[in-house]
Amino acid sequence: MKRKIFYMAALVGALVILPNILAPCLRSYHLSHDPSAVDVWSNNGRPTNIAPFDHFTGALPYLAKIKEVSEHGLPYDPFIFENMKNFGNTLSDALPFTVLGFLNKCLNNLDLTVIVYTFLLMFISTILIYKIMMQATSDELFSLFSSFWVNLFIIWYYFDYDLFFQSPLKMALRTLNYLFPVFPNISDSVGPDKTLYVFTRAMFFLAIYLFLKVISKQKCGNRLALASGFLGGLLAITHWIELGHYLAAVPLYSFGQWIRTRKIQRSVILSYAITLLLAIPVILMRGSFFFHSDSDPDIIRIARIAEHEPGRYFFLPSFLFLAVYLIVVFRNRKIDDPTVLWIAAIIGSAFPFSNIQLITGYEFSLSHWQIFGNVFLVMLLLIVVYRWLLKRISMQSCYAAFRYSIVILAVLMLSRGIMLAKDRYTFSALPRDYEEAFDFLNDHTEEDSVVVTLSSEMIIDIPLFTHNKTLIAHASAILSDISIQENTRRLMYALSLYGINREYFLEKHFMNLDLYNEVHKRFFVAEKFRRDLLTRSLWEKAHVYDTTPNVLIGADAMRQLLETTQVPSPGTFRADYVMFTHLEREYVTEESVFKKGWEKLFKNKSVSLYKINR
């Protein structure tokens, strides 16, 4: 049976990466058998799974930072040249970026890196879930089934924050669409768009399992406690969501243990002390860099308050997490069950962070705190159902059902992977014109030189496919921690370089919310139901906030920031090359650059590149 968990883990990993392998294969088949048909596709270049047009752009740029590590050794800012050596930025999720960056350096292929690390991390997560369930049930076959099902649950429902607060009909319809993706989202995969999550999740499960080993032993050695504390501390440079859960869960477990036994294990105190010793300095350093001196406190305050659900309020659905924790703690207090208590503590840790807006007045990624609450609630439900069945029937009669369910779920996942690949393969590439432009940049420009573009796709593509930087950063503090104000000044500087009318550009892209909402409605229909309507222009307009300094800050703060930001004087920021795509050509003709004396370096149907002569 022990070997079977490795087979199961390999099966889960293979099913997860299947779309990322199959889609390029289908594309290569069409390239070899009917190249003329491929030529008319919008993405008619070489097969790749890391094309932004094929994925949710919010997380795909993480790959740019992974590439930055493989090129410069540390997770520096992959976008802004002046911010490259900022140590503060390297602390954000440093561990996953560094590990995956060195993996990419070894493989020298981002597509292959994505496939390898996704398989390995899903493999590891499956084994860890199996170990945790074994600790709770001591039933190998049930733990095998649970490890498979929990992984599929994570894949299908990872971002369904309201999972346990929706109607059964809605849940059933959503489940059917995940199993049989008739209307799949172009990001409905665990490929590049889940880059950090597969790593941070595996690290979290590892920290949880090691702490579980500590609390499961009456006499735990100092080495195990120190190792557990060290791993918990590493979560500080893994991801702040996982760190927050862990820092809250250990005290919740300790409280439950004290309620039951009126004592707390010495090993738990030692482990948690080591975790705090490692985590607190990182938290303080990140906090100091987060509120750096050139940021206006009023703007920062406004920027942190999303337009939806602002202010102090209690998130009522989070009471489920607290209720589950309290039930486990106070029911059957005489029963020593550290595994269930530890799982309940992790569930309970979602409660305080889901309501932190009661203290701060604004949310800290409210929906993200529900993710692990949901996952561990499912694990707890599996344990409860197993123990309920164990008291009433012979588990031998259930084993056949476990085996058949694994086979059925595997077949459904295989079918799902094939359908996703079939749906995606025409999008899984860059346009050939873009590839030519990127090849030119790699061959004829200095490393880390700065390219100016307004295109949200190009701001992602340039650090991802070339050795260049961009004038404007992607809107993610994990990737680039320059201030909101500076990124806005960079946007204004780019407009001045192109000679684009500032008021017209801002009105069209940022001030007209009705137009923006209409674009998003069209994009949703095209993405979900009518792929033939999914044009690059529509994609660009729907994702304009993803790569501007104003993502997540709300319309009021956005207007205030854009209206009050002055255009920087010439030479304020480094700018070596100017790029023209379809977006820039909507506002200005290329003929205008001749008046500036720029040197034309490259031109094809889609992209032009000019060198700024100083």
Q: pLDDT tens-digit profile of 443-485?
A: 999 999 999 998 888 888 899 999 999 998 876 666 777 777 7
Element (H, E) at 454: none
Say what percent of the chain tops pLDDT 90: 28
Q: Tell me which amino acid residue 256 is.
A: G
Q: Which of these ranges, 36-40, 136-140, 173-177, 520-524, has the smallest mean pLDDT?
A: 520-524
Identify the DSSP state of 511.
Answer: I
Residue 46 exposed, middle or buried by CB count within 10 Å (0-12, 13-18, 19+): middle
Question: Which of the four pLDDT bands, split at 50, 70 and 90, describes residue 590?
Answer: confident
Residue 563 exposed, middle or buried by CB count within 10 Å (0-12, 13-18, 19+): exposed
- Is the model's pLDDT at 305 over the cut of 50? no
For residues 246 and 258, give the distance between their C-alpha atoms in angstroms, rounded to a whole number: 18
For residues 346 and 348, give the distance between their C-alpha atoms in angstroms, rounded to a whole number: 5
- Is the model's pLDDT at 189 over the cut of 80? no
- Is the model's pLDDT at 150 over the cut of 50? yes
User: What would the mean pLDDT of 332-336 be, rounded to a whole number?
Assistant: 64
Instruction: Identify the residue with better confidence: 583 or 140.
Output: 140
User: What would the mean pLDDT of 160-182 be, rounded to a whole number?
Assistant: 62
Identify the DSSP state of 188.
Answer: -
Strand partners, 577: 451, 611
Lookup: tokens for 220:
């735990």
Identify the DSSP state of 594.
Answer: G
For residues 483 and 475, give the distance between their C-alpha atoms in angstroms, rounded to a whole number: 10
What integer pLDDT is reported at residue 531 of this predicted model? 55
For residues 274 and 227, give the distance between their C-alpha atoms in angstroms, rounded to a whole number: 9
- Is the model's pLDDT at 303 over the cut of 60? no
Question: Which of the four pLDDT bands, split at 50, 70 and 90, describes residue 154?
Answer: confident
Closest CA to 349 of 254, 216, 230, 258: 254
Instruction: Identify the residue with better confidence: 553 or 578.
Output: 578
Query: C-alpha angle with apex 372: 370 to 377, nearest 5 degrees?
Result: 95
- Is the model's pLDDT at 320 over the cut of 80? yes
- pLDDT digits over 69-92, tens only? 999 888 888 999 988 877 767 777
What integer pLDDT is reported at residue 533 of this predicted model? 55
What integer pLDDT is reported at residue 543 of this predicted model? 58
- Is the model's pLDDT at 328 over the cut of 50? yes
| Average pLDDT value over all residues in the chain | 79
Q: Which of these ranges, 39-43, 93-97, 112-116, 318-322, has the smallest mean pLDDT?
A: 39-43
Say what percent of the chain tops pLDDT 70: 74
What integer pLDDT is reported at residue 363 of this predicted model? 65
Lookup: tokens for 81:
């040249």
Element (H, E) at 450: strand 450-452
Distances (CA, A) of 567 to 204, 562, 571, 572, 604: 45, 10, 12, 10, 31
Question: Which of the four pLDDT bands, split at 50, 70 and 90, describes residue 392?
Answer: confident
What integer pLDDT is reported at residue 500 of this predicted model? 85
Question: Which of the four pLDDT bands, split at 50, 70 and 90, describes residue 429?
Answer: confident
Q: Helix H segments across 217-304?
A: 222-234, 240-261, 266-290, 297-303
What integer pLDDT is reported at residue 608 of this predicted model? 92
Q: Are 471 and 494 in contact (CB under 8 A)?
A: yes
| Helix, coil or strand: residue 46 | coil
What integer pLDDT is reported at residue 298 of this predicted model? 46
| Helix, coil or strand: residue 466 | coil
Q: Helix H segments across 355-483?
A: 357-360, 366-392, 396-424, 432-444, 456-465
CA 590 to chain centre: 37
Radius of gyration from C-alpha coordinates of the chain: 26
Residue pointed to by tokens 């192109």? 498
Instruction: Identify the residue with better confidence: 499 or 439.
Output: 439
Identify the DSSP state of 471.
Answer: S
| Helix, coil or strand: residue 254 | helix
Closest CA to 191 of 115, 104, 100: 115
- Is the model's pLDDT at 321 over the cut of 80? yes
Residues contacting residue 583 through CB under 8 Å, at least 6 positions apart: 454, 455, 537, 540
526: number of Cβ within 10 Å: 18
User: What would the mean pLDDT of 489-510 be, rounded to a whole number?
Assistant: 81
Distances (CA, A) of 133 to 149, 198, 593: 12, 20, 65
For residues 415 and 409, give the distance between their C-alpha atoms in angstroms, rounded to a whole number: 10
Instruction: Identify the residue with better confidence: 534 or 585.
Output: 585
- Return the C-alpha torsion angle 581, 587, 593, 598, nearest 10: -40
SS3 content of the chain, % helix, strand, coil (to 5): 70, 5, 30
Instruction: Identify the residue with better confidence: 119 or 593.
Output: 119
Closest CA to 308 of 266, 354, 363: 363
For residues 212 and 204, give the distance between their C-alpha atoms in angstroms, rounded to a whole number: 12
Distances (CA, A) of 300 to 239, 305, 484, 567, 568: 22, 9, 8, 20, 21
Instruction: Identify the residue with better confidence: 212 or 359.
Output: 212
pTM: 0.86
Q: Which of these ranges, 202-206, 360-364, 384-388, 504-508, has the smallest mean pLDDT?
A: 360-364
What integer pLDDT is reported at residue 293 of this predicted model? 43
User: What would the mean pLDDT of 99-127 be, rounded to a whole number?
Assistant: 92
Q: Which of these ranges, 89-98, 127-136, 202-211, 340-349, has the smallest mean pLDDT?
A: 89-98
For residues 14 and 118, give the distance between their C-alpha atoms in angstroms, rounded to a whole number: 9
* Sign, CA torsion 378/384/388/394: positive
What integer pLDDT is reported at residue 424 of this predicted model? 76
Residues contacting residue 496 through CB under 8 Å, at least 6 positions apart: 502, 567, 568, 570
Question: Which of the four pLDDT bands, split at 50, 70 and 90, describes residue 285?
Answer: confident
Q: Helix H segments across 80-221?
A: 87-90, 94-107, 110-137, 140-157, 168-179, 195-216
- Is the model's pLDDT at 197 over the cut of 90? no
- Is the model's pLDDT at 559 over the cut of 90? no
- Helices 110-137 & 366-392 angle (0-180, nearest 10): 40
Question: Which of the four pLDDT bands, split at 50, 70 and 90, describes residue 310?
Answer: low
Strand ordering across the sheet containing 599-603: 469-470, 450-452, 577-580, 608-611, 599-603
Question: Which of the four pLDDT bands, split at 50, 70 and 90, describes residue 511?
Answer: low
Exposed e or buried b per residue across 169-189, where buried means at least 16 C-beta atoms within 10 angstroms of its C-beta: eebeeeeebbeebeebbbbbb
Start-to-end C-alpha separation, the chain: 70
Closest CA to 131 of 342, 322, 385: 342
For 87, half-sphere exposure in the C-beta direction (CA atoms, 13 angstrom radius) is 3
What integer pLDDT is reported at residue 229 of this predicted model? 95
